[in-house]
Amino acid sequence: MILIYRIFSTDIYPFLIIYIYFRKILKKEDPKRFKEKIFIFNFQINKKKNTKLIWFHAASIGEYKSILPIIERLKRNNKNLAVLITTTTLSSGNLAKKELKKFVNVEHRYLPFDVPFLIDRFFYLWKPNRVFLVDSEIWPNLILTAKKYNIPIALINGRLTAKSFNKWIRFPNVAKKIFNFFDLCLCSNNETKNYLNKLNVKNTFFKGNIKFISRVNFEKIYNINKNILLRKKTWFAASIHEGEDIFCLKTHLNLKKKFNDIITIVAPRHINKKKKIQRLFEKSGLKTQILSENEKILEDKEIIIINYFGALQNFFKYTKSVFMGKSMIEKFKNDGGQNPIEAAKLNCKIYHGPYIYNFSEIYKLLDKKKISYEIKNYKELSHKLELDLTNPIKKSNRVVDPISVLGEKTLIDTMKLVDEFLNHDNK
């Protein structure tokens, strides 16, 4: 089966080129860097001689942000260490471009498609000393190539759902071979650890979900719209997916019956959908504004649609009530939810739908501490928000203690295993 996959992934390469150019036309890819996914010879390699290079691959924003505390710790302990971060999504690439400026010898690239000769060329050019795959980014050709070059490879914050495990187990020999290529597996939950144990994977550990590690620098958070956000009745719909825009519309219209100055702030998970969302709200006669970075909210607007990356913290800090997206659409039953930790640490009251599989453990903790609440429909959310806006929630800069404590323990335990992995055989 592995051979079949390698042949198939090679044969579809011409179609992948067409696919990526089509996505570029739709503005779903970086207009200048999209070729990184399909033409390796366009890379400019900045690796210095005699420098150990550690490669982290994270799919999107959530995974990318989860590894930053680990990279900070690694760079603090070894200033000569070079780090390569690859991602696949446009949003993660844009965020990395902004955030990685604070690091020395840390670069971002888009991961090439899992085509044998692309991946092989990528390894040959970068020559990483260690490879970390984050979350569920299990790419067979990448893993096989790491073994080909005798490069140790680890899975960090690894996640297998029942759905994904059942797919792998259809080919048990392949699954056992691929996962046993990992020299270290750090799982994000006990469920994943149990699945890997069934595959007889060695060096498998559960030390906590690294997404708990994220830190918030309160002093550096600033929003030029602070005054209007605190003065008017506002709520924030964060990282919403297609279908949840209608949910937000119905919620807003309900709240408008009670509050004349209600403002709904919408942050689409995919900002290329902003125009579609705007048209939906304007059909109901609502005054909308697509808000770019460092742009002021106009006084007469009712719906604010965020049009830039890295905005969530700025609005978490100055809004009291937050709905976390990817939680109300049934098609996300097995992979729903968005990371609520930043909102919790900024003392927001968090609402979410029933489909939170990817962050079920986190929400379980937050629900228990009455930091987050599950809602079933827009009427229930409208009622909760009405109460919040009638009786304003006191905002403060306190860090939610259970998350901070758990995050620090997770970081310490994770770094111990990461350091052992990096220093083994001193490669």
DSSP for 17-86 reads: HHHHHHHHHTT-S-TTTGGGGT-GGG----PPTT--EEEEE--SHHHHHHHHHHHHHHHHH-TT-EEEEE
What is the pLDDT averaged over residues 209-235? 85
Residue 23's Cβ-count burial label (10 Å; 0-12, 13-18, 19+) is middle
Q: Is the pLDDT of residue 425 over 70?
A: no
Q: What is the pLDDT of residue 386?
A: 95
Domain boundaries, the chain: 26-216+408-426, 218-398
Q: Is the pLDDT of residue 427 over 50?
A: no
DSSP state for residue 283 in the 8-state scheme: T
Q: Is the pLDDT of residue 251 over 80?
A: yes
Cβ atoms within 10 Å of 54's Cβ, excluding its own: 22
Q: Do domains 26-216+408-426 and 218-398 have the same CATH topology?
A: yes
Q: Is the pLDDT of residue 231 over 80?
A: yes
For 129-145, the pLDDT digits (tens) are: 999 999 999 999 999 99
Question: Percent of the chain beyond pLDDT 70?
Answer: 94
We find that the CATH architecture of domain 218-398 is 3-Layer(aba) Sandwich (3.40)
Cβ atoms within 10 Å of 17's Cβ, excluding its own: 15
In whole angstroms, give the CA distance from residue 221 to residue 397. 11
Q: What is the pLDDT of residue 287?
A: 97
CATH topology of domain 26-216+408-426: Rossmann fold (3.40.50)
* Ranges 41-45, 216-220, 393-397: which has the least confidence: 393-397
Helix (H) or strand (E) holding 420: helix 401-423
**Average pLDDT of the residues of the chain:** 91
For 373-413, the pLDDT digits (tens) are: 999 999 999 999 999 999 866 555 555 567 778 888 999 99
Residue with tokens 């607007």, as numbered in its chain: 301
Q: What is the pLDDT of residue 360?
A: 87
In the structure, what pLDDT confidence band is assigned to residue 61 with cuts at 50, 70 and 90?
confident
Amino acid in the structure at residue 282: E
Q: Is the pLDDT of residue 341 over 80?
A: yes
Cβ(100)–Cβ(106) below 8 Å: yes
For residues 400 and 311, the model is more confident at 311
Q: What is the pLDDT of residue 139?
A: 96
